[in-house]
Chain A
Amino acid sequence: MKIDTIEVADVQSIAGNMRNGGYRLVVVTCTPADEGYYITYSFEKETDLRHYRITVSEGTKIPSIGSSYGGAFVYENEIHDLYGFTFEGMSLDFGGTFIKTSVPYPFKKKEQPAPTVTVVKEAKE
């Protein structure tokens, strides 16, 4: 699995080149890594699958590829809601309500893993 590493500033131009080259957007994947997070963009044209990866730290603002691929909003909103990254210029921005979670950004890296059982406190009368 070959992955090309790119800079955050190059995301939109790479997506534009892929679109002009006739590639479809397959998926955008966010992965926690030692040095922050990887966000991997995967494109395909006639079984030629290409992956481009940026490495980002928490709080980084990432340019949206929505101008090239209108369907990217599902991946970008999902990554925002699960990991907390902001994508600038999304074609459809749900403002954090695309996936409704009981805790904010549940897939964000934590010191300790999330508990498997949620303790519900009794309501005060």
Chain B
Amino acid sequence: MTGRQTIIPFGPQHPVLPEPIHLDLVVEDEHVVSAIPSIGYVHRGLESLVDRREYQDFVFLAERICGICSFTHSSTFCQGIEGMMGVQVPPRATYLRTMWGEYSRLHSHLLWLGLFADSLGFESLFYQAWKIRESILDEMEATTGGRVIQGVCKVGGVRRDVANSFLSEMDDRLDEIEDEMKDLTNVFLNDYTLTKRLIGKGVLSKEDAYYLGAVGPTARGSGLDQDTRSTGYLAYGDIGFKPVVEKGGDGYARCAVRCRELFQSVEIIRRVITDMPDGEVFTAVKGNPDGEYFSRSEQPRGEVIHYLKGNGTKNLAQFRVRTPTLTNIPPLVSILAGCELADVPQIVLTIDPCIGCMER
């Protein structure tokens, strides 16, 4: 080591980043000494719109916080309003929300696998991952009418029902999707070049993951048994849930968590389809929200929180979103310190950053 330090700006525009985050990398020779993050390039101040949009309409805005986990944002917002107003959502609606939430996880994880393959120059693998994702988006479109922004969640339930006969057909198609995913994940977990770029890279210890606030696959890849679905919201309490955990703490472990979660999501969707209760999918909601509620869900990237405060009018008094990427920034800063400069893009990708979501 020469003892001479240089600052290299990484982002906000970088070939490996679809969205803008800026990191000042303090580098000594080829090693990163520390990384200083900077955010705010696409901050929309969306939270402050609650005093200008009625709470039922705000579901559509909440859904647009993120283009990938859009459904989970809308269901988390609705869950918060329903919790505050004491609305009992019909069981069929909670099962449908669970199903769409898991389809969202599938398409998000497949999107990440594709982007990661692309970042290493594996174009064919990138297309293969996104081809499977296309099947997931087709199912979303067939059941909700939307591919990325579904607009299907509303306070009190969901806007659309899915016929039981169609659910059975979806169940059949899951077999084909599962087979394709087995081939795909086999490459990610066993290919020499890919594993070489992941094993031992960006190691996050279990203790650091916990106390620096890591969530989602970033936390579970470090051996933390931490998943909001364990709290039993929506239909997860009926189905029974056990988080996918890997102990390596490195990029490979985080990748392996996402690969295994693909198959877990397929299993959950199968259970939801099998156990789907009959009945209404919507309860009429009267009045306005008053009080506070702390709504939590497990997005593909980890725990999301919608803090809602009502004042008895049609407009909420306060809306605050804490997304998984925001809380995964301190762990990212921690794991970048000490890594090789050439590994920075891949390490940043392993936390699956969603900057639009973080900036809201």
Contact = CB atoms under 8 A, between A and B. Distances in A.
A5 interface: no
Interface of A: 1, 3, 19, 24-27, 29-32, 40, 42, 47, 49, 51, 69-71, 73-74, 78, 81, 92, 94, 97-101, 106-107, 113-114, 116
Query: Nearest 10 pairs between A and B by C-beta?
Result: A71-B330, A99-B40, A71-B213, A100-B40, A71-B212, A27-B322, A31-B318, A29-B320, A29-B307, A24-B210
A1 B293 contact: yes
Contacts of A3: 292
A78 B355 CA distance: 15
The DSSP consensus for interface residues of chain A is mixed
28 contacts: A1-B294, A24-B211, A25-B213, A26-B303, A27-B305, A27-B307, A29-B322, A30-B320, A31-B307, A31-B309, A40-B307, A69-B212, A70-B211, A70-B330, A71-B330, A71-B331, A73-B330, A74-B327, A74-B330, A92-B36, A97-B38, A98-B40, A99-B39, A100-B41, A101-B43, A106-B48, A107-B45, A107-B48
B213 A113 contact: no
A91 to B, nearest CB: 9
A113 to B, nearest CB: 6
Contacts of B231: 47
Contacts of A51: 294
Contacts of A107: 45, 47-48
B230 interface: yes
Interface of B: 36, 38-41, 43, 45, 47-48, 51-52, 210-213, 230-231, 291-294, 303, 305, 307, 309, 317-318, 320, 322, 326-327, 329-331, 333-334
A71 to B, nearest CB: 3
B205 to A, nearest CB: 13
A71 B327 contact: yes
Given A47-B230, A74-B326, A99 B211 contact: no
Nearest to B210: A24
Nearest to A40: B307
A24 to B, nearest CB: 5
Contacts of B210: 24
A116 B211 contact: no
